[in-house]
Amino acid sequence: MSENAITPTKLRVLVPAEKIKERIEELGKQISADYKGPIIVIGILKGAFIFMSDLLRVVELPTRVDFMGISSYGNSKSTSGEVRLTKDLDMSVEGLDVLVVEDIVDSGVTLTYLIHLLSQRRPRSIRIAALLDKPDRRMRPIKVNYCGFEIPDEFVVGYGLDYAEDYRHLKDICVLES
């Protein structure tokens, strides 16, 4: 843990690792059935890397993989409302079916920005797969095509999700209680 991290008094398991694995297998089957050909899978760094890796292993389609870095949080527990691109794609998405893989959909601010940016690059389609969805926090409308779990408005970490770059390594999704 970094020197500047806040040490929680407790981590409460919200979604255990076994349920995550089962749900990802279901999502992989659904994605495989919905697409007719190859897709480009774009993982949103850093939080989605574990989910994306596990999801790709169960999707039975030819895939290309790329990453984007985008942030509206920094080291805070709530969105700043200001979105910034920290890493752009290395390949073109023009004419391709794009699956954006996100760790969590919260306010919708970041994904609204991202979908607008990707749409300008003329892909054939754009769909979103998110491990977690917090619809109660939505500030902008966004459609999640493949949702792992809908969760309450609590701050979660683990399975790639962090707080100030800590807790990504946890195998479960946990509520960070201070």
Active site residues: 106
Least Cα distance to 69 among 102, 38, 39, 96 occurs for 102
Q: What distance in Å separates the CA atoms of residue 113 and residue 6, rounded to the nearest whole number?
A: 30
Lookup: tokens for 122: 């003329």
3-state secondary structure of 163: strand
Q: Go through the chain and tell me how many residues it has.
A: 178
Q: Tell me which residue of 158, 167, 134 sits closest to 19, measured CA to CA.
A: 158
C-alpha angle 119-120-125 in degrees, rounded to nearest 5: 30
